[in-house]
Amino acid sequence: MPKLIRITTVPMALKNLLAGQMRYMKMNGFDVIMVSADGKEREDLIAQEGCPHQVIPMTRKITPYADIRSLWKLYRYFKKEKPDIVHSHTPKAGILAMLAARMAGIKIRIHTIAGLRFVTSSGMIRTILVRAEKLTTKWATHVWPNSQSILDYVKEHKLADRQKLALIGYGSSNGVNLERFSPQALQSGKLEATKQRLQYDEKLTYLLTVGRVVKDKGIDELLQAFQRVYSERSDLRLILIGFFEDDLDPVSDEARKTLNEHPAIIHINWSDEVEYFMHVANMLVHPSYREGFSNVLLQAGAMHCPILCSRIEGNVDIVDDGHTGIIFDVKDAASLEQMLRMALNHPTRLKTYADNLRGKIEQRFDQRFVQESLKTRYLQLLSVQ
């Protein structure tokens, strides 16, 4: 039975970004171990996946001394477990796991690139992050960007040896569970509870944003555009699902004040059942500065929720402008406002786009297809060792 170690920096990434993937691999003949730092999601993660989890302390910041300790602990753990495959996800877990696995003599070392953090950085921080990305891909034996546009970017900027690069299926780290993310799968009791939580009024128009409340998610531009349109359309409501992350990438003081005080904004720290909000919402607005392959867009598309998103790598692999959604210029509140007004004025067109996107997702990004493609690739790599 081949042993697979799946590693991310924090357990939330395993639980949310890769939900069901470890269980699938276990059911298909792999001995799977999950590795990450500790976190409140750990017990739920273990119950969800049915696989053991090993805590190795890691931070998401640049912390040289703590990182060296993490590297040593990973090396010792890999030497003890002797996995056939180490597959990392997220930047810090990637660089530490790929080096530790190389030191431990692990032959199959895979890193998934799910977005490039340095594209929104500058100066010395950007230099450090670019160097870290190149070291991660150097120490990996296989590098799998999770979208075609990220793959193209990596090639263009020579971030990895081309021989190591591959796209699994049509992209996406995990696809979307179409048995869960479907209007027909919703439970009437939970749907009613969601509406009560929002004080839902069918005469109002609801915009939805899902993601961490940080600058890189485009929250400042979103709020600027929303307030301008709201001044003329008091029937608008903005539902924002996500928690503040002030230690890494805080939003502006003005944005925070708006979130706390605006009468038409509903802020919910988090929900594990976002599909109910996607069903209620008239559209999802996703103004992120950077993505790999957005699970939020896949989930909204599966729920037939119309999408407005920024023109960035990852997003453009899912949304075709004017066919499966609407795209606006990244970091541009005026462009977002313009496209939002257009969407509000053409609801029938938006509904057609949403139906088109659901069809695309069924064909290319069903979770069963993505996980099967990943398993097939694992077995191919194992067969040539």
Question: Does one domain contain both 168 and 195?
Answer: no
**Do residue 357 and residue 374 come from a single domain?**
no
- Label residue 314 left, alpha or beta by phi (over 0 means left) and psi (-120 to 50 means alpha): left
Does one domain contain both 357 and 260? yes
The CATH number for 194's domain is: 3.40.50.2000
**Which residue range(s) make up the domain with 65?**
3-175+367-383
Domain count, the chain: 2
Q: How far is CA 92 from CA 9, 133, 206, 328, 351, in A?
A: 6, 10, 36, 31, 40
CA–CA separation, 35 vs 88, rounded Å? 9
Q: Strands (DSSP E) along 125-235, which ranges?
A: 142-145, 205-210
CA–CA separation, 53 and 33 (whole Å): 6
Angle at 244 between CA 239 and CA 247, to 5 degrees: 160
Greatest extent of the chain over all pairs of C-alpha atoms, in Å: 64
Q: Are 81 and 211 contained in the same domain?
A: no
| pLDDT by 10s per residue, the chain, length 385 | 999 999 999 999 999 999 999 999 999 999 999 999 999 999 999 999 999 999 999 998 889 999 999 999 999 999 999 999 999 999 999 999 999 999 999 999 999 998 777 776 778 888 888 899 999 999 999 999 999 999 999 999 999 999 999 999 999 999 999 999 999 999 999 999 999 999 999 999 999 999 988 999 999 999 999 999 999 999 999 999 998 877 767 888 899 999 999 999 999 998 989 999 999 999 999 999 988 789 999 999 999 999 999 999 999 999 999 999 999 999 999 999 999 999 999 999 999 999 999 999 999 999 999 999 999 999 999 998 7
142 plus 17 within the same structural domain? yes
The pTM for the full model equals 0.90
Strand order through the sheet with 3-7: 53-55, 31-36, 3-7, 85-89, 108-113, 142-145
On whether both 14 and 162 belong to a single domain, the answer is yes
- One domain, residues 132 and 106: yes
pLDDT at 69: 98
Same domain, 350 and 373: no
> Does 42 lie in the same domain as 162?
yes
Paired sense of beta strands 108-113 and 142-145, if any = parallel
Task: Tell whether 227 and 334 lie within a shared domain.
Answer: yes
* Cβ–Cβ < 8 Å for 314, 294: yes
Q: Which of 180, 208, 215 is nearest to 194 (CA)?
A: 208
Query: 120 with 39: CB under 8 angstroms?
Result: no
Count of residues for the chain?
Answer: 385
